[in-house]
């Protein structure tokens, strides 16, 4: 099984900050990586697919990069609506990272 490791597990930040979340795969997954945002009590929402492609309707402050085993999600200028939990997912065999909870500092 392909293991996905996200870091950090928790991140405290302020509105306007630029931040990066990292996701590492235990083996090469090419660009088969997605990022999701989840708010409490809601289903996850797809933000990024194919490592760097922005899902329709997602604000351009979200961006993704990487290939192979190392990937990042960057939010260029945090907005109040962005405080949530973020998950990466490899979709060769569909496993998720453990999540990164983004909190208000």
Partner 1 sequence: QVQLVQSGAEVKKPGASVKVSCKASGYTFISYYMHWVRQAPGQGLEWMGIINPSGGSTSYAQKLQGRVTMTRDRSTSTVYMELSSLRSEDTAVYYCARGTEYSSSPFQYWGQGTLVTVSS
Question: Interface with partner 1 includes 65 (CB under 8 A)?
Answer: no
Q: Helix-strand-coil percent breakdown of the chain, rounded to 5? A: 5, 50, 50
Q: Output Rg (C-alpha) for the chain, integer angstroms.
A: 13
The answer to whether 87 contacts partner 1 (rule: CB under 8 A) is yes
HSE at residue 58, side-chain half, CA atoms within 13 A, is: 19
Instruction: State in angstroms the smallest separation of the CB of 58 from partner 1.
Output: 12
Q: In the bound complex, what is the minimum distance in angstroms from residue 39's beta carbon to partner 1?
A: 12
Decide: is 99 part of the binding site for partner 1 (CB under 8 A): yes
Look up residue 88 and give its two tokens: 């990466």
Residues found near partner 1 in the complex (CB under 8 A): 1, 32, 34, 36, 38, 43-46, 49, 55, 87, 89, 91-99
């Amino acid at each position: 099984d392909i293991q996905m490791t996200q870091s950090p597990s928790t991140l405290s930040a302020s509105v306007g900050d630029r931040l990066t979340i990292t996701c590492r795969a235990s083996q090469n997954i090419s660009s088969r990586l997605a990022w999701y945002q989840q708010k409490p009590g809601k289903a996850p929402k797809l933000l990024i697919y194919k490592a760097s492609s922005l899902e329709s309707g997602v604000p351009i402050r979200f961006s993704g990069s990487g290939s192979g085993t190392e990937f990042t999600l960057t939010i260029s200028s945090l907005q109040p609506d962005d405080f949530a939990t973020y998950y990466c997912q490899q979709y060769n065999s569909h496993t998720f990272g453990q999540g990164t909870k983004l909190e208000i500092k």
